[in-house]
Amino acid sequence: MKCFRFCLPAVFSLFFFGTSFSQTHLNLAPTPPMGFNTWNTFQTKISEDMLRAMVDSFVSSGMREAGYQYFVLDDGWMAMERDNSGSLVADPVKFPHGMKAFADYVHSRGLKFGIYNCAGSKTCAGYPGTRGHEYEDARLYASWGVDFLKYDWCNTDSLNTPEAYKTMRAALIATGRPIVFSICEWGDHKPWLWAGGVGELYRTTGDISASFAVRISRGDWTPQSVTSILDLQESIRKYNGPNHWNDPDMLEVGNGMTDDEDKAHFSLWCMLAAPLAAGNDLRKMSAQTREILTNRELIAVDQDPRGISAFKMMLADSVELWVKPLKNNGIAFCFFNRSERSKKIDLPWKDLNISDPLSGLAIHFDSEQLSIRDLLLHKDLGTTLGNFNRTLPAHSVIVLKLSHLVN
């Protein structure tokens, strides 16, 4: 009897959190998840008609073909109260046909469906949270056909963070439906140290904004900028990898930064092997925005199966060089001018020695010659003989893929 009471939970937790349960076994995100999320542009102002049009644009813009998969509803999809039986319900005004009908529509266009809730008593925007309802909410999501759950951290009082996320993960597993679990506690409890066995991705910082270099206050809080988030990523690169991705937050491409800044933001997120969640209005995106978001050569860098996040080297005149080891001994190089003035690069390749103990990368350009392809211009640029000469406007990047020459 004693053993029944005490051993069963132990066996249960071993199954879910021990050797039988791990992200590797589920393998739901062998490469960083790619999709769209409503929050950055719409916050809680969402409705079924508008979202159906967005799903259509997701497909007609070529995003789906470029590899984006998940259509995720963030905060604001629920009615303000649970129903009499304690179930969450979709806001009947925003979703007159209910959530299952909308999920079916997303699936009918060849996409996967994601939804949002929160570990606390209420979501960050004040809708009903999941605390105390983990298993019933998970069953409801599974019955709707949810494929992805973003799980936030507002109104959690004294909840233990890893335990709260493990509980929800167990609830998702218990449904029998494969559901990607996106942990969103803003990096407050160092999720890179414990979330790798719990969620497929975990936010590493507070919320992003469409500001490139400056953090602009919004009264009682100050969101991050692109570069302030970037600066927090390198020290945790070793925790990144297949099925456990550091998540530097969703994209602000197409949301008001300059074209160079959008290119830099997207390229740097690809260099980090970050999840790519577009956050712009897909119905109205400009040709430039679409070109950035669907740049397959950059997406291939992000989705490289090794899943290694880039490291940084400083070059002369404060230009940063981010380096990402790729499959087949390939390497992605991202020259990044974060200053407000344009900078000239004149780099003798042979002066560059690169080594990265984490990935085993070691290149001596004085004794090895590699071919160069520019991933933003989609052009081959010869080899690493001689010098690399280019001018980088303010807040811009040059992204190259270097490959060993085939003999």
The residues annotated with a catalytic role in the active site are 152, 207
Stretch that binds ligand GLA, among 107-115, 121-129, 225-233, 366-374 (CB under 6 A): 121-129
CB of 296 to ligand GLA, least distance (A): 27
Stretch that binds ligand GLA, among 13-21, 101-109, 122-130, 213-221 (CB under 6 A): 122-130
CB of 40 to ligand GLA, least distance (A): 8
Name the residue nearer to ligand GLA (CB basis): 151 or 266: 151
Please give the torsion angle defined by the CA atoms of residues 357, 192, 174 and 81, in that order, rounded to the nearest 10 degrees. Answer: -150
**Cα angle 221, 223, 229; round to 5:** 145
Are the C-beta atoms of 208 and 188 separated by less than 8 Å? Answer: no
Name the residue nearer to ligand GLA (CB basis): 123 or 156: 123
CB of 257 to ligand GLA, least distance (A): 18
Binding flag, residue 152, ligand GLA (CB under 6 A) = yes
Interaction mask 190-229, ligand GLA, x per CB under 6 A: -----------------x----------------------
Name the residue nearer to ligand GLA (CB basis): 142 or 250: 250
Stretch that binds ligand GLA, among 94-102, 123-131, 229-237, 303-311 (CB under 6 A): 123-131
Q: Which two tokens stand for residue 149?
A: 């759950």
Please give the torsion angle defined by the CA atoms of residues 396, 231, 66 and 378, in that order, rounded to the nearest 10 degrees. Answer: 30
Stretch that binds ligand GLA, among 22-30, 100-108, 116-124, 141-149 (CB under 6 A): 116-124
Q: DSSP labels for 258-278?
A: -HHHHHHHHHHHHHTT--EEE
Strand 343-348 to strand 353-356: parallel, antiparallel, or no bridges (unpaired)? unpaired
Stretch that binds ligand GLA, among 118-126, 170-178, 314-322, 367-375 (CB under 6 A): 118-126
Residue 249 half-sphere exposure toward CB, CA atoms < 13 A: 25
CB of 122 to ligand GLA, least distance (A): 10
Binding flag, residue 257, ligand GLA (CB under 6 A) = no
Name the residue nearer to ligand GLA (CB basis): 124 or 164: 124
Name the residue nearer to ligand GLA (CB basis): 223 or 254: 223
Q: Which of 58, 68, 74, 265 binds ligand GLA (CB under 6 A)?
A: 74
Q: Which of 324, 330, 254, 318 is nearest to 292 (CA)?
A: 254
**Cα angle 333, 322, 262; round to 5:** 85
Which residues, in sequence order, are bridge partners of residue 112? 70
Helices (H), 61-208: 63-66, 98-108, 134-144, 161-174
Name the residue nearer to ligand GLA (CB basis): 207 or 252: 207
Are the C-beta atoms of 249 and 268 separated by less than 8 Å? Answer: no
Site for ligand GLA in 174-193 (CB under 6 A): 184, 186
Interaction mask 24-53, ligand GLA, x per CB under 6 A: ---------------x--------------
Residue 383 CB partners (closer than 8 Å, separation 6+) = 369, 370, 371, 372, 405
Name the residue nearer to ligand GLA (CB basis): 157 or 340: 157
Q: Which two tokens stand for residue 74?
A: 């963030």
Q: Which of 46, 51, 72, 124 binds ligand GLA (CB under 6 A)?
A: 124
In Å, how far are 9, 329, 388, 389 from 245, measured between CA atoms?
Answer: 29, 22, 33, 34
Cα separation, 118 vs 195, whole angstroms: 16
Sites of contact with ligand GLA (CB under 6 A): 39, 74-75, 116, 123-125, 152, 184, 186, 207
